Structure 1
């Protein structure tokens, strides 16, 4: 068939499938008129605009949220009923607070100028702590005359479920009220259809000049150079009469908590100041995404849409951070083990042994208007759980946690070999149990992410390529876990099953005409002959033959995949390729990070260096030096930065962990607890890094500070300090 005819056939096949809106799709109906900033503490987060307002400008998911419910939908500041002018808006480096600097416009009364512009300096400072949002508003008159003005704060709430904020429509809602409960306090209250009472207690200090159910007004008479301040706190589900902690006491306590998060983790310093900023921003973002749970600290997936426990995201983030702080993995594993499915529930896509996809605490989840209260529609979380358990134990030697987790590991393996393989062909597959579930259940979970070469969407039980790699790695690692706890027969069985899977996989998934692996097998076992980044993640799992690994890697580094910024999810030229799509041609930093671990596994450090450089350059262009969840897959051009994706989460956990994973892949870091040794296998630093200093890199009870320095294509190692018994070495293999 001629090229033009083949292309037309692909377009027709795609056009035949109606572009229906996917369930739980996140709409973008217009541009944000003001940039947004986000803060988070445990289960509470807030999205404000650049002026420090909530709900004052279009285009953003504004609000104060707790456990998937909005507790404040509007909080807008005005001076004599006009908006102040923005001077600047900055997050503190550790993400603990947001500071907004404002000034007054020209203010007229009865046609007469009563306050000239730029006379008032207004500083709004925000932070979150223990279910409450705190705000200080500082004012100073820099004019030569007395400033007389009113400052009004307008506030309101809808107690919307997060899925409503995302665009889901509801036929019925609960009842909301607003009432004064004193000269300084207002209660915004709601009783949902689930019968659960919710409230937002808004407290003002000092008491306003006038207070109504939705507005607080202060009248000020400020002398030249006089300063004053007022404080506002909005508390989620506090008791009537509750008084929040004083602003500065809470702020200091919050900052102490954030500093404590990073204690015990290794620290990184490099020769490149910009990369140091990237690393610092990444760790600050991870700090606010970490959430205290009954089972330990857990990295919530991202703000605003995914600030909750996600299985896949937590597992991959913990895997990315394993070398620098294995405590994250312990918290993730314990929490997911606690919520492992015990029974069959079709609406939740739950089956015994399956690991959680996500959990939600809002009204719609409680009423099962959405299936996500505890939802298990993720085909990869279960093998990733086993993988992380094995990697964590090998990284730490923590046999006590292994014994605690082993029943959950066995249950997960039981799901992999049982319900996870419904047609018993030896591959783990998925198909949603009800129409309410996610149509695609791998990490590329858009409705159009899995398709054939002609663009036709896949039907039936779908076997994703990378999931088979996860199962292969999971069984190898579980085999070694079984040996540790004295189960040699189980160990041999798992090792044999892994090798059998690898043989079946090569036969079923390899596409000779493409020189890479199929994206997936459909319900009829037909391969989706599509060039996709999923093949790159296979390298990370080790399931790929050595000769074919080099073919896959070479393909990923060609221009149809590699843009100069990173590797696309789908290669240019494939039927559904769209560089502005969510999963069909965009670039995901975490996807690239896992691919670099795979490239390093097969000794392809020159390719690691290219991807590392691309993502470093991307971060250098980004606001705050922060890698977003994803960005558009346009080819890199000289003197132009990367193109943003409009509704990407930022911060987002596995994107934030990516710089650390890239460094791990470049340095080839390995840990051997039994020998008390840290090895750097074929280390190679990119051109923008002349040295890397790692401090407090731990192995068991010992730790080391060291410096790795670049010498053309070689790297030297200098041990700066050791604590306890530890060996460090460079291993060169070819």
Structure 2
């Protein structure tokens, strides 16, 4: 859903652990707007601000550690007012703030140190508030009525905030200080800390749904566990390393962000889509993230497939846009979803998630040879394919289309799901049902994947039927979507059978599916890499010469890193990998300007000498498939595919990124072992060397 109506994001920092995340400014303060301490789609703290008397501290620097566990801010004082004596001069009291999340609780430590030659009297004021706003309220939704904010319970060491929702759920947020405040009220806690010259003072704060004493031992124990858990999760994936320090920073930041965004569910690891708007399980986002990282971390795909199979639709519901066999688009745990004010408690309004789910299963089996998982979810795969076939059979041309069930659902149900993302060349809105071009590619790939998996299970008749259906779909797509006058595919066909003759990046996804013939793929590639599409930083979602083009829009001219990466993978599959190398270079140079963390999207203004990419103000940061795009781009350049059943790694026409002469991919999991791949530039070619414990049992082939 387009979050453009929501408050603009600040340039602060985020932390996430499980179902809890924090968005705060650069000093670590939570000030409302899009800020907050969130749990299960509810803002548990809407304000948590540190003042020194009536002014805020001076920020020296702040950062999140490389592993995304700790937020650290270094601050100092402004001129402090006298408290029965002389005032404390500016810049004499040092304040270090450290924050982390662990098991749905927020922990903070404040260290104060007096560098002055006189005693310092430091008035600390913590402003605290909890509005218990639903995430959709934070994003801009207006409710006719809300539940009841109960009176704040003031404790000796803090406050307890409570809210009884219209869903009859009591939500509680407890703030506890290690030190006894000089004054504590419903909206603040005040301390006067006296520091002798050279003296220091340490205070601890905890925030959670249950009361607990904040102290040093609890902070240290939880911090050690938080770091250990993140380290263990981070070890699961292979690592990419080069001799380029900035390139390595990008790889490590992307890897750390995916680790932070991934929650460990009872079905396995699952990447939540992005912070702040989409920190929840999404179907499409998770499948694409799993595809981006499959060559490095197949366990993520296993967790995604298992979770989505378990939450597959079993009933018809126009409100939820569900139908038996359909794969979930989004799930939410907030009050508004629980009450049915919105359909997103468990929502199925994504036309592409179901074929992408099937396609991921086929890719996972090829990557790992893990037929046991496929057997366990085979009923879900058959039900998903049956849904695809039912929808295609109802379409006159046999296409997979969509039309929302009710106005509360998404009007557009492809990945470009804003209301204005699909239109005719003259700007008209199409009538439904709408068949998107890339969705036909996903359906084609899903049918081929089912055919391949069925053959491995010995079901030859089913395999033949799915393979034939895929070829019929291919023929019809080539006949109906191709625009001979512009050598490109149209974005969609509407309910009247009229082609939306618009040149959009969706065609790059069609290349990724493998549907087009080689001649048409070459024509699409040429245009995607030309100025109307390629901004210099990435591929625009819409060519510059099309109706509704706006580089500042959500889907009509912006650059989405995951979109560019999918296009790069499609381009590389058909022709020279130079196109993928060019797109990787643009993405890397954009990442440098975004502190090595590619956002969900950024504006599509053309790159010029000395310029930087223009940020989109409410983009999620970090975003799972934006982080995963780095790994898909590297794979597209190196041409790596892995056959787990045969314990074989194939490198097809590998190319190294510009300026990088060696890449090492450490601990690539394959079968029951792992190997390290070393790729070196040797004049005009790339040499590949294999190291590690699996060297004797894994074969490596280089093609081209």
Establish whether residue 77 from structure 1 lines up as the match of residue 55 from structure 2.
no
Q: Provide, for residues 535-579 of structure 1, a one-character-per-residue CA deviation record: whole Å limited to 9, x for no partner.
A: 011111000011111011011111111111111100001011111
SS at match of 2:615: coil
Equivalences for residues 239-638 of structure 1 within 5 A = 246-419=218-391, 422-623=394-595, 625-638=596-609
Q: Provide, for residues 90-110 of structure 1, a one-character-per-residue CA deviation record: whole Å limited to 9, x for no partner.
A: 110111010011111112349
Deviation (angstroms), 1:150: 1.5
Deviation (angstroms), 1:264: 3.3
8 Å CA contact retained: 1:85, 1:104:
yes
Establish whether residue 234 from structure 1 lines up as the match of residue 207 from structure 2.
yes
Q: Provide, for residues 629-661 of structure 1, a one-character-per-residue CA deviation record: whole Å limited to 9, x for no partner.
A: 111111110111111111110100000011111
- Mapped to 2, the partners of 1:179 and 1:722 lie a distance apart of 60
Q: Provide, for residues 404-454 of structure 1, a one-character-per-residue CA deviation record: whole Å limited to 9, x for no partner.
A: 010000000010011465335310000100010001000000100001101
8 Å CA contact retained: 2:331, 2:346:
yes
Equivalence for 1:688: 659
8 Å CA contact retained: 2:369, 2:643:
no
Q: 1:660 aligns with which of 625, 631, 638?
A: 631
Q: Is the alpha carbon distance of 1:48 and 1:665 closer, same or farther for their aligned partners in structure 2, counting shifts above 3 Å?
A: same
8 Å CA contact retained: 2:83, 2:121:
no
SS at match of 1:108: coil
- Mapped to 1, the partners of 2:395 and 2:452 lie a distance apart of 28
Deviation (angstroms), 1:490: 0.5
Equivalence for 2:125: 152
- Mapped to 1, the partners of 2:129 and 2:639 lie a distance apart of 53
TM-score (norm 2): 0.97
Q: Which moved more, 1:609-618 or 1:263-272?
A: 263-272
Q: Which moved more, 1:631-640 or 1:434-443?
A: 631-640
Q: Which moved more, 1:609-618 or 1:314-323?
A: 609-618
Establish whether residue 47 from structure 1 lines up as the match of residue 23 from structure 2.
yes
Equivalence for 1:713: 684
Deviation (angstroms), 1:187: 1.1
Equivalence for 1:671: 642
Q: 1:108 aligns with which of 81, 94, 106?
A: 81
Equivalence for 2:673: 702
SS at match of 1:282: helix
Deviation (angstroms), 1:112: 8.9
8 Å CA contact retained: 2:553, 2:603:
yes
SS at match of 1:45: strand
Deviation (angstroms), 1:480: 0.9
Q: Is the alpha carbon distance of 1:420 and 1:195 closer, same or farther for their aligned partners in structure 2, counting shifts above 3 Å?
A: farther
8 Å CA contact retained: 1:24, 1:163:
no
Establish whether residue 641 from structure 1 lines up as the match of residue 619 from structure 2.
no
SS at match of 2:461: helix
Q: 1:129 aligns with which of 102, 110, 119?
A: 102
SS at match of 2:583: helix
Q: Is the alpha carbon distance of 1:599 and 1:254 closer, same or farther for their aligned partners in structure 2, counting shifts above 3 Å?
A: same
8 Å CA contact retained: 1:704, 1:726:
no
SS at match of 1:657: helix
Q: Is the alpha carbon distance of 1:390 and 1:230 closer, same or farther for their aligned partners in structure 2, counting shifts above 3 Å?
A: same
Q: Which moved more, 1:709-718 or 1:562-571?
A: 709-718
8 Å CA contact retained: 2:431, 2:494:
yes
Equivalence for 1:67: 40
Deviation (angstroms), 1:726: 3.0
Deviation (angstroms), 1:203: 1.1
Equivalences for residues 157-176 of structure 1 within 5 A = 157-176=130-149
- Mapped to 1, the partners of 2:308 and 2:447 lie a distance apart of 19
Which ranges of structure 1 fall in alignment gaps of 5 or more residues? 1-22
RMSD, aligned α-carbons? 1.7
Q: Is the alpha carbon distance of 1:363 and 1:576 closer, same or farther for their aligned partners in structure 2, counting shifts above 3 Å?
A: same
SS at match of 1:251: helix
Deviation (angstroms), 1:721: 2.7
Q: Which moved more, 1:614-623 or 1:310-319?
A: 614-623
8 Å CA contact retained: 1:514, 1:529:
no
Establish whether residue 213 from structure 1 lines up as the match of residue 189 from structure 2.
no
- Mapped to 2, the partners of 1:409 and 1:44 lie a distance apart of 32
Q: Provide, for residues 658-717 of structure 1, a one-character-per-residue CA deviation record: whole Å limited to 9, x for no partner.
A: 111111001111112333211111101122211101111121012211210113431011
Q: Provide, for residues 506-534 of structure 1, a one-character-per-residue CA deviation record: whole Å limited to 9, x for no partner.
A: 00100001101010001111111111100
Q: Which moved more, 1:401-410 or 1:479-488?
A: 479-488
SS at match of 1:314: helix
8 Å CA contact retained: 1:28, 1:646:
no
8 Å CA contact retained: 1:669, 1:679:
yes
Equivalence for 1:3: none
SS at match of 2:153: strand
Deviation (angstroms), 1:722: 3.6
- Mapped to 2, the partners of 1:112 and 1:509 lie a distance apart of 80
Matched residues, number: 703
8 Å CA contact retained: 2:3, 2:618:
no
- Mapped to 2, the partners of 1:442 and 1:574 lie a distance apart of 19
- Mapped to 1, the partners of 2:549 and 2:230 lie a distance apart of 41
- Mapped to 2, the partners of 1:298 and 1:374 lie a distance apart of 16
